[in-house]
Structure 1
Amino acid sequence: MDAKQWGVYVHIPFCRQKCFYCDFPSFAGRERYWEDYTGALCREIAVRGSYYRQLWGRPATIYLGGGTPSVLPAKLMAQLLTKLRQVFLADDKAEEFTVECNPGTVDEAYLAMLWEQGVNRLSFGVQSFDDELLRRIGRIHSGQQAAEAVEMAKKAGFTNLSLDLMYGLPGQTLAQLQASVKQALALSPKHISIYGLQLEEGTAFYRMQELGKLNLPEDEVAEAMYDYMTEYLPSQGYERYEISNFAQPGFASRHNLSYWQDVPYLGLGAAAHSYLDGQRWAALADLDHYMEAIRENRIPVEPEEPATAAIAMEEFCFLALRTARGISREKFRQKFGRELDDLYGTVMKELFAKKLLADDGRCIFLTSQGMKYGNLVFEKFLLDEQDF
């Protein structure tokens, strides 16, 4: 396998405070675990990481996500990054080495350490530049801190910076979103992700919604927010390469694209997922169980239930359709030994007629209207198991 065709994801399941919308496997108030978890993670990298490094060569991308990776103290983060470089990169560099950061957890020295350790891309979870809105959603930073964090990152040497923003937040207005987008653009990031609020079970917002205490924007306001960002960002030089992601030319996230383009990746750390040789694996999510497995020299992952042929095809289509390029007929044929048009021809004609799907001969892809109503398209790609 070409060494450039795989990636590494490292999960840091800690944060300073759990955001009210977050359902990711992350924990606040677990500082006592930080040192032991970092040690366990380094041991997993040494064992599992070394195996795949020898098997496949240098990964193209490494991505530290969470949680909030930057909540780790500098000493522990440096220990982790050193181990990642030793195992995966040796004297080389990753083409894309990303760390997610909360603006409220970094300073100049911390960002300089990340740069010196070989990290070359930062993703800042900003969400909004409106302080009242940030407080309302459980963020620990201010809009000013976000702007200062970006400037400190540039001073440290970073040029490849991504900012996350959110829309459809409780009490959010279109004017607030427009102001945040313009403040983000004033910082000249290479990449911007904008996510609509999803009410996930188990989150504080989900419970508030059940109690009737969540003041969400009206549907037409949320739609206006969506329309604004999808029209304004491209006009400012940010190409939409995936439903929620915009980048200046050449700065699309290679790591995230790998998820949508059927590229294998190794997940390391508690609750991390891997996709290796067509099989999905899930690491133990409980911190104590994860660290116990490492101490006992057990691999802390379990295979997920193998996907049926129908589910594998559906998943392939769902993920590919998220990208601007869409589903490659040739890649579908190579992977499944079936023609895309034989399975989905009728569905595709229906979606073409509704202007939700387009075709350039090699790929089928969502139109701008299709991206807006993606879920309506995705459900059409569900297959009947009886066909297999």
Structure 2
Amino acid sequence: MVQAAYLHIPFCEQICHYCDFNKVFLKGQPVDEYLQYMDTEMKHTIEAYPPSSLKSIFVGGGTPTVLNVNQLELFLSSINHYLKPRSKTFEFTFEANPGDLTEDKLKLMLDSGVNRISFGVQTFNDELLKAIGRTHRRDDVFHTIEMAKHVGFKNISIDLMYALPHQTIESFQESLNLAFSLDVEHVSAYSLIVEPKTVFYNLMRKGKLHLPSQENEAKMYEILMSEMEKHGFHQYEISNFSKEGFESRHNLTYWNNEEYYGIGAGAHSYVAEKRISNAGPIKKYMSAIDEHGFPYVEKHTVTVKEKMEEELFLGLRKTTGVSISHFHEKFSVSIFDVFASQIKEQKEKGLLEEKDDFIRLTHKGKFLGNEVFQAFLI
């Protein structure tokens, strides 16, 4: 059953130096036309795969909040027509850039059912913000979040990054202190990963990207976990922390290995036991819908073996880990019949532990998560 919907707005006024998501510069793009094609894709998607238990919508990008008020109203109308929230606990998230939002946009979003905003803060250091290609500055964060609260938003998340070029442990600590002063409900914090086809990747190849040492990156992560706990944020996933009851329902859909729609250029879906990829370039996305009704460029039926692997390497991201009984219920086989050697090996390395009904990462394992996940690709 489809649990969630992700909708992708690929337009940005500025391309961040670390970003490898599907995105284009806003200027000169057919934004209105693109939104109409997203409307068509939503229509065809729910006809082909009717929703029955949708519990979250997440609008990401790109920068969704670059849409003007009229475009935003049109887009939100489409979402509510096809994917209307169905319960009081429904989570409807919009990604936002500090500084992009006006009070009019915020009110429109709230009135249209959006009840959670995720701000891409990344750091509170203005020099670092400039260095990573962000357009906002520290004061924009405080102003925009205060405005969102004033309008009526009660579930606000911020993204932070660490191990940025020239970033010091002291600078990261200062960003954390300022983040706590905002009194938000959720924080996602990620270390910088230098991806191909980004500005940072090109600088790295030229020897011009000066990153903190691995030792300092690990220290930043240790500080992150410790400070979050001190300030009442529960770590429920490797990179995600929330106050009680404010865990991201949408992201938990991914980590629980449940099905979801992906709408928009470059989006990915997991429906009817198939993983589906949409065309990324906007013109190809739109022409594919014209020709076939859907923008799909790849479909893959997930095998039972792949489902079991995904259950482990996605589920182990959660601090609760993977339920032994749920695995048996889902696949009619013991987790130890399939992954006994991998579990034993990772336990011996001190990276996994078994507690009650769960297999989960140890504290040490959180620092080496990718190594653990790789072990379950059989």
* TM-score between the two structures when normalised by the length of structure 2: 0.95
SS at match of 1:9: strand
Residue 18 of structure 2 corresponds to: 21
**Which moved further from structure 2: 332-341 or 372-381?**
332-341
Aligned counterpart in structure 1 of residue 45 of structure 2, from 34, 40, 48: 48
Q: Describe the shift of the 1:201–1:15 C-alpha distance in structure 2 as closer, same or farther (beyond 3 A).
A: same
The letter for the 2-side match of 1:279 is K
Structure 2 unpaired stretches of 5+: none
Matched, 1:37 2:37: no
Residue 335 of structure 2 corresponds to: 340
Aligned counterpart in structure 2 of residue 210 of structure 1, from 205, 228, 241: 205
Residue 249 of structure 2 corresponds to: 254
Q: Describe the shift of the 1:92–1:322 C-alpha distance in structure 2 as closer, same or farther (beyond 3 A).
A: closer
Aligned counterpart in structure 2 of residue 356 of structure 1, from 351, 355, 363: 351
Q: Describe the shift of the 1:295–1:379 C-alpha distance in structure 2 as closer, same or farther (beyond 3 A).
A: closer
The letter for the 1-side match of 2:32 is E
Q: Describe the shift of the 1:247–1:76 C-alpha distance in structure 2 as closer, same or farther (beyond 3 A).
A: same
Residue 261 of structure 2 corresponds to: 266
Residue 386 of structure 1 corresponds to: none
Matched, 1:234 2:203: no
Residue 374 of structure 2 corresponds to: 379
Kept in 2: contact 1:93–1:118 (CA 8 A): no
Shift of 1:132: 0.4
Kept in 1: contact 2:41–2:293 (CA 8 A): no
Aligned partners of 2:28, 2:234: CA distance in 1, in Å? 40
Kept in 2: contact 1:68–1:100 (CA 8 A): yes
* TM-score between the two structures when normalised by the length of structure 1: 0.93
Shift of 1:361: 3.4
Matched, 1:193 2:188: yes
Q: Describe the shift of the 1:238–1:255 C-alpha distance in structure 2 as closer, same or farther (beyond 3 A).
A: same
Aligned partners of 1:162, 1:39: CA distance in 2, in Å? 29
Shift of 1:58: 5.3
Shift of 1:355: 2.6
The letter for the 2-side match of 1:335 is K
Identity of aligned residues (%): 39
Residue 362 of structure 2 corresponds to: 367
Q: Describe the shift of the 1:328–1:151 C-alpha distance in structure 2 as closer, same or farther (beyond 3 A).
A: same
**Which moved further from structure 2: 228-237 or 311-320?**
311-320
**Which moved further from structure 2: 207-216 or 286-295?**
286-295
Shift of 1:32: 2.6
Shift of 1:253: 0.1
Kept in 2: contact 1:329–1:363 (CA 8 A): yes
Aligned partners of 1:38, 1:92: CA distance in 2, in Å? 26
Aligned partners of 1:25, 1:17: CA distance in 2, in Å? 13
Aligned partners of 1:138, 1:260: CA distance in 2, in Å? 30
SS at match of 1:381: coil
SS at match of 1:8: strand
Aligned partners of 1:114, 1:230: CA distance in 2, in Å? 32
Aligned partners of 1:313, 1:92: CA distance in 2, in Å? 30
Residue 155 of structure 1 corresponds to: 150
Shift of 1:147: 1.2
Kept in 1: contact 2:3–2:258 (CA 8 A): yes
